[in-house]
Amino acid sequence: MKLKIATRGSKLALWQAEWVKKRLEKLGHEVELKIVTTTGDKILNKPLADIGGKGLFIKEVEEALLRGEAQIAVHSLKDFPTQYDKEHFTLAAIPKREAVEDCFLSETFETLAELPHNAVIGTSSIRRAMQLKAFRSDFVIVDLRGNVDTRINKLKKGEFDAIILAYAGIKRLGLIKEVKYVEVLDTDIMVPAMGQGALGIETINDEEVIKAVKPLNDLWTEVEVSVERDFVDELNLGCHAPVGINAKIMVDDSIKIKGVVQGKDGKVIKKELLVPFDEWKYVGREFADEFKEYL
C-alpha cells in the first residue's frame, strides 16, 4: 500500500517519522514523508502556553491529512491532546515506549542537587517548572523554546546553568555525549508528562490505512498511556498544563501510578497508587478524582 506520513521538519520529528516509515516498509508498504511547518515551529519568541499550547504542533499536520496530502501523522504522544477530531482521525497505533524520564543537562554541574543557589534552568514546560520549584524554591526558571539542538546550543553558550529535556528525545537523536553532564531524573523528583517517551501514530479514518499501521502497536505501552491520558482527560487539563502522570506496569503485572498537579493555591500535590492490572481501564479516571478538590 502507498502511504504518506505528514511530519514536522525538526530533527526529532523527522527521526520519529523515519522510524515509523522503516517499520511500515518492512511490512511491505511504500512510504514517503510530507514535511509540514507548524505555527508552533514558527513562533519561538513566546512561551507555548501564551500562543495556544502544544496543539499548535498538531493542527497544521492534521490539516494536511484532511487535504489528502498524507494519510498518517507521527506525534510525540505527550503533545497529542486527549480530545481530538475522532470523526476524521484515529490514534491507530502506539509503538513500544522509549524512556519516560526527563533529564538534567549541564556543562558545569553534575546533578540537579548540585546546582548553586538561584541557578538558572531553561525549560518550556510548566510541568517541569512546577516540579523544579517544588524541589528547590530558589531555582530561577527561564522559558526555553526551539528544537533539541537549539536548546543544547543555548546551554553550551552559557545562557543557562542547566536545562531539562525529555530523555527519550536525547536518546533518539544520539545527543547524550553532546553535553558534559546528563542526569536522568527519577520519577519521584520529576513525574513525566502523559505519554512521554511514546509515539502516537494518527491516521485518517480509513480502514485500510488503520489496518496497515496497527501491527506497530504495543499493547503494554497502550495500557500505560491510556491510564495517563484518562487521568489528564478526567481533570480536563491540556498538554501544556501543570500536570504530570506516569503509569508503569510492574513485573508482577500490577500498575504503579504517580501523579502531580499544581493546585489553585499554587501548592504542588503529588500522589502514588498501586493497582492490579485488570483495573487499568478505569483507574486513570478514578485516580484523577483524588486531585479534583485541589484544582
Radius of gyration, alpha carbons of the chain: 19
Q: What span, in angstroms and rounded, lies between the C-alpha atoms of 74 and 21?
A: 10
DSSP letter (8 states) at residue 187: T
For 223-260, give one letter per residue: b (16+ CB within 10 A) or e: bbbbbbbbbbbbbebbbbbbbbbbbebeeeeebebbbb
Alpha carbon distance 52, 125 (integer Å): 13
**Beta sheet of 243-249, edge-to-edge order:** 243-249, 255-262, 268-275
Please state, as a whole number, how many other Cβ atoms lie within 10 Å of the Cβ of residue 83: 10
Catalytic residue among 41, 50, 79, 252: 79
How many CA atoms are closer than 13 Å to the CA of 104, on its beta-carbon side? 25
Report d(CA 29, CA 214) in Å as an integer. Answer: 13
Evaluate the CA torsion angle 21, 226, 165, 176 in order and state its sign.
negative
- Per DSSP bridges, beta strands 102-106 and 199-204 are unpaired
Task: List, as one string, the DSSP characters of 21-88.
Answer: HHHHHHTT-EEEEEE---HHHH--SS-GGGTTGGGHHHHHHHHHHHTTS-SEEEEEGGGS-SS--TTT
To the query of whether residue 143 is one of the catalytic residues in this protein, the response is no
Selection from 89, 57, 96 nearest residue 71 by Cα: 89
- Give the number of residues written for the chain: 295
Q: Which residues belong to the active site?
A: 79
